[in-house]
Structures are given as structure tokens and as C-alpha cells.
Amino acid sequence: MLQISTRVEWVRRRRCQRRDLFRQPLREQFNLKHPLVRLADLIDWDRLSTAMSASFVSHRGRPATSPRLIAGLLYLQHDFDLSDEDVVWQWLKNPYWQVFTGETYMQTRAPIDASSLTRWRKRLGEAGIEELLAETIEAAKRAHIIKTSSLKRMIVETTVISMSGT
């Protein structure tokens, strides 16, 4: 005999399966060679989620947002130089962005309120953002897009301005 909570979860899962029966997954509709789809497949989302998990614990209210969604939105925001509002709006319009952030089916509602991205950046802190950057660099190395040796060289440009009045 199933426990009540297990039974409720089973019923909920069955409803979702029936509702999704006639929906076509995003990955079956679009070009899997698109750069964002390829990058999404290269990123180790499990490792990234584990590294960022302390920032995603929900102590009250509804469950915390998916680390992959937040990491993906922050990456897209940085890559395309967008505001919080614009990255959420573009996510709604672009199925490749939805695949990148882990969606299976096309979404028609914003995944989060744009203003919450500021709070997520604060929760993640500098270390969390650096972890995201490090994982994208590792993904590029795994894809042989960049070489490890190219990361060892840094070019620093400095400009010296004379403050003397003579």
C-alpha cells in the first residue's frame, strides 16, 4: 500500500505525463548544433549545481529556483550584455535559451521575476559567479575551443598619465 505522500506524488506525475503526451520536446524541434545547445551539453550542470547548492536552499515558502536556471540566465545576461528585465524577456522568446537553462518543453511564462536576479547575484556572491565562469572555461577546453596554454598568458594594458603641470 502506498503512503499518502507517495500516492499524491504518483498522481501528480501521471497528470504531467498525460499533459505532456502531445507536447513535443524542444530538443526535437530545433537545431541541436546551435552553439547554446552544444554549450549546454558541455557544461557539467551537476557539478555546478553542487558547487552553488548552498545558495539555493529554501528555508521558507516554495522550493528554491533551479541552480541551472539561475546560472544559465546569469551566463546569458553576461554574454549578451542585457539587463535583468531583458534577459528574462529574451528567455521567453528564445527556445534555445530555454534549452540552455534546462527546459524540456517551450515555456510561455517567465521563470522568475526579473528583479530577483539581483538577489540571486548577491546570494551567489563573487565565488559563485567565478564558479560559473570557471565551468564555462572548462566546457570550452573539453570542446577543444580553447587551449589550456592560451589561458596562461595574460595581456595587461596600463596607461600612465603624467600629473605634473610642467
103 belongs to a structural domain:
yes
Average pLDDT in the chain? 81
Residue 47 belongs to a domain: yes
Assigned domain for 6 exists: no
Q: pLDDT for 51-80, tens place per residue?
A: 777 666 666 666 668 889 999 999 999 899
Read off the pLDDT of each residue in 124-151 and give the average, rounded to a whole number: 83
C-alpha cell belonging to residue 46: 551537476
Segments forming the whole domain that contains residue 51: 24-145
Query: Is the pTM higher than 0.85?
Result: no
Each residue of 6-38: pLDDT tens digit? 565 666 666 665 666 668 999 999 999 999 999
The structural domain count of the chain equals: 1
- Give the tens place of pLDDT for each residue, 112-132: 999 999 988 888 888 888 888
